Amino acid sequence: MSHLTKYVADINSWNQIFNKKTPKLSINSPVDREKIRQRLECDLSPENLCCDGELGGAALRRKADYLNGALAELNARS
pTM score: 0.89
Q: What is the pLDDT of residue 21?
A: 86
Q: What is the pLDDT of residue 19?
A: 82
Model pLDDT for residues 25-46, shown as the tens digit of each residue = 999 999 999 999 999 999 999 9
Q: Are 25 and 13 in contact (CB under 8 A)?
A: no
Crossing angle of the two packed helices 57-77 and 3-18, in degrees rounded to 10: 100
Q: Are 22 and 15 in contact (CB under 8 A)?
A: yes
